[in-house]
Chains A and B, each alone.
Chain A
Amino acid sequence: MTNATLSAEGPNPVPQRTAVAVQFDDAAQQRDADTLGMWLFLATEVLFFGVLFLSYSVARAHFPDAFAAASRHTNLLLGGTNTAVLLTSSFTMALAVRAAGTQDARSARRLLLLTATLGAVFCAIKLTEYALDYRGHLVPLLDFAFDVDLRQGALVFFLLYFATTGLHLVHLTIGIAIVLVLAWRTGRGAGPRHAERVEVAGLYWHFVDLVWIFLYPCLYLVARA
């Protein structure tokens, strides 16, 4: 109970809020629970995105030529740059987890800010790319024009393109917010659980990165091998 207060004369009083929540025996147990919880959440995310990847596979089997043609309309330069940006952000995130684990608050803070910045750069590039897609008449439902013979397949390709990259962008935005909050707390009396939180946030960040690693070849490299 959160509203429990220390009873002065109680024989075995309920402990006050400490680093370890009341349901856990010790910090190690709590750390195990938090980490496992995040892994399970990521498992649900894999299946969540899995539906989109399966839909992509089915649609590509239906429309192989249209998918090849549509893929050539994606912006390889911006997509490739973004892949590099995101991979670098995972690197800085891994360093941040290490710095937080060794109680190096100064480095941890800098690395977290760098990670969030790289995430923001990715978002900016992606939005620029969306704008260019719009000018190229590639946005379904708004302004879509494509070679008539391949139109239906290309339309499905770009629906999936926007659905998957859009959902990825939402995940990345959440990741940036979490990393910024952690950066802000670093060194400001963040408490004994801070390193653990950075580590768990790191798991999430790497997952979002990994989704992109699969999206990139599926969307940009279909007929460019």
Chain B
Amino acid sequence: MTEHPGTDYLSAGMTLRSWLTTHDHKRIALLYALSITAFFFVGGLAATLMRIELATPAGDIVSASTYNKLFTMHGVIMVWFFLIPSIPSTLGNFLVPLMIGARDLAFPRLNLASWYLYLGGGVFTLAALIAGGVDTGWTFYAPFSTLFSNSNVIYALIGVFIVGFSSILTGINFIVTIHTMRAPGMHWFRLPLFVWAQYATAAILVLATPVLAMTLLLLTLERTLGMGFFDPALGGDPLLFQHLFWFYSHPAVYVMVLPAMGVVSELVACFAKNPIFGYRSMAYAIVAIAVVGFLVWGHHMFVSGQSVVAGITFSLLSFLVAIPSAVKVFNWTATLWHGRITYEAPMLYALSFVGLFTIGGMTGLFLAALALDVQLTDTYFVIAHFHYIMVGGTVSAYLGGIHFWWPKITGRLYSDRWARVAASLLFLGFNFTFFPQYLLGIEGMPRRYYAYPAEFQTLNVLSSAGAVVLALGYLLPVLYLGWSLFRGARAPANPWGATGLEWQTSSPPPVHNFIETPTVDGPPYAYRPRVVSPQLVTAREGTQ
């Protein structure tokens, strides 16, 4: 095959084999995008069945044990097979080399291996589903998961164990790439915030995921061979499992939300046509969230029997996370100030993110408060809180990013009108689905039950109805984005007038990203702000 440097990466080989053996980070990103979308709809199907069951107080559609398996599969698939790989493995994979002016990631074969590991993990998890499901909840608490559960725990454990290595490989690849392969002039403080976010995320993946992997391995040994690590009857310690599990799973929340924050920073700056307010503080905030995020896992264990001193310490540290998070929210808002704001679809998703993340973050403070958390533990308040962060936050940002970089990735333009409809449906549907769950939680409705007292029905019906709107918001993009692949107008190199190296190369980019390695000679987000007053200009420059 003859290949000229100008050949775009999509035309550089049309066979299935050329895709399945590719080392191109852009193609691997697309492979990931397809697979996580498939898993998203499997996980979404489980959620749909749960919302149908909860439309009436009685347990009538599915049995109690089926319901347990539904929320377990929903959690396992959404956390490990959608949310964690979502932005890093698709947008991150595609954009990190482009944004820093590199030809590929440092280890392209490892990148492909990471996708195959993801698929391997997915096969085991789907096997658990097909063999009859798992009923432990995504948290796999021992000794229930090792001694008592009669479901297919082993398949799911192996599936998650394998997919963990896919995360680790992606993390190593990103860190090495960002450290060693930046284009000439691309200093650390010239990196787009998206790259900073991917860097911090990669560090979490590298440091937290091995702990999960070993913990799941010990769980597997305990379940299959009766080795006593966590079961008190065998001399183990169940709290040890919870500590190890949350040592990974709390930072995993930041694996989901930090990349989303990176996306939103790009979007807000572009559609306000303003430099990001307080660029350095934004970068430091990303790092601070990643660091402090490692020290707060105990807030998942306030009612577990850990000591009061531990509880108070974890509570205080959890409040700390709010500070860098608030810095980000204030800076996005300040970036809008005096901007020339336009409301294309990606901007609607980004603004949704800011609002929903703020609500999710503020309610997180309720849960970080030791005394209040005892009241709210295991209620729908917790469910609503983390869905505001993970769905309202991460999924909004993921879709916003997909819409923003779609012309770059595919070389096609989509219908912005339909995209704005989808973004609005997502925002409305999301709030109708999950805001009632805050109220249910305050009234005391516990999570993980398939039936409930009649007094909770109104809010549950509202939530289930909202889920229909939310589902429309997810399905609509499949249609118009799919349509654009075949009928969409050809995209120019830089349809949004955005800054950043990825917009300087053609759409879709050539195989090795740039015909000539770019050089960087200025700060990121070099949008020209509308000059309102000299003080404003001074204030902005002071933050750069």
Contact = CB atoms under 8 A, between A and B. Distances in A.
Interface of A: 1-5, 7, 10-14, 21-25, 29, 32-33, 36-37, 40-41, 43-45, 47-52, 54-55, 58-59, 62-63, 140-141, 152-153, 155-156, 159, 163
Contact of B5 (A10, A33, A55, A153): A10
Contacts of B179: 32-33, 36
B5 A14 contact: yes
Interface stretch (B120-128, B207-215, B313-321, B341-349): B207-215
Given A1-B24, A23-B102, A159-B228, A7 B180 contact: no
15 contacts: A2-B23, A7-B2, A10-B2, A11-B4, A12-B515, A21-B108, A33-B106, A36-B180, A40-B171, A44-B168, A44-B172, A51-B218, A55-B218, A62-B235, A156-B234
B229 interface: yes
Interface in B21-50: 21-24
Given A7-B2, A55-B229, A44 B106 contact: no
A159 B218 CA distance: 11
B130 interface: no
B108 A23 contact: yes
B227 A159 contact: yes
Interface stretch (B143-151, B236-244, B331-339, B448-456): B236-244
Contacts of A2: 21, 23
A12 B5 contact: yes
Contacts of B4: 7, 10-11
B166 to A, nearest CB: 13
Nearest to A23: B104
Contacts of A25: 517
A40 B244 CA distance: 21
B180 A44 contact: no
A5 B23 CA distance: 15
A5 B225 CA distance: 53
Contacts of A22: 103-104, 512
Nearest to B5: A12
Nearest to B214: A51
B12 interface: yes
Given A4-B3, A156-B228, A44 B103 contact: no
Interface of B: 1-5, 12-13, 18, 21-24, 97, 102-108, 168, 171-173, 175-177, 179-181, 206-211, 213-215, 218, 221, 225-229, 234-237, 240, 244, 511-512, 515, 517
B2 A37 contact: no
Most A Cβ at <10 Å: residue of B18, B215, B225, B236: B236
Contact of B180 (A12, A29, A54): A29
A14 B512 contact: yes
A149 to B, nearest CB: 13
Given A36-B180, A37-B172, 16 more contacts: A1-B12, A3-B13, A7-B2, A12-B515, A29-B181, A33-B179, A40-B172, A40-B206, A45-B210, A50-B214, A51-B210, A51-B211, A141-B227, A156-B229, A156-B234, A159-B229
A163 B219 CA distance: 13
Contacts of A49: 214
The 10 closest A-B pairs by CB, nearest first: A23-B104, A51-B214, A48-B210, A47-B210, A33-B106, A152-B235, A44-B210, A156-B235, A33-B180, A40-B172
Contacts of B175: 36, 40
A32 B103 contact: no
Contacts of A13: 5
B237 A58 contact: yes
A3 B225 CA distance: 47
B514 to A, nearest CB: 12
A2 B109 CA distance: 10
B542 to A, nearest CB: 35
B213 A48 contact: yes
Contacts of B228: 152, 155-156, 159
Contacts of B209: 44
A51 to B, nearest CB: 4
B214 A48 contact: yes
A1 B244 contact: no
Contacts of A55: 218, 229, 240
Nearest to A22: B103
Contacts of B106: 23-24, 33, 37
B1 A4 contact: yes
Nearest to A52: B214
A12 B511 CA distance: 13
A1 B23 contact: yes
B384 to A, nearest CB: 32
Contacts of B23: 1-2
Contact of A153 (B211, B213, B235): B235
Most A Cβ at <10 Å: residue of B175, B177, B229: B229
B168 A51 contact: no
B334 to A, nearest CB: 35
Most B Cβ at <10 Å: residue of A23, A55, A163: A23
Most A Cβ at <10 Å: residue of B214, B218, B512: B214
Contacts of B5: 10-14
A62 B237 contact: yes
A34 B218 CA distance: 31
A5 B1 contact: yes
A203 B175 CA distance: 18
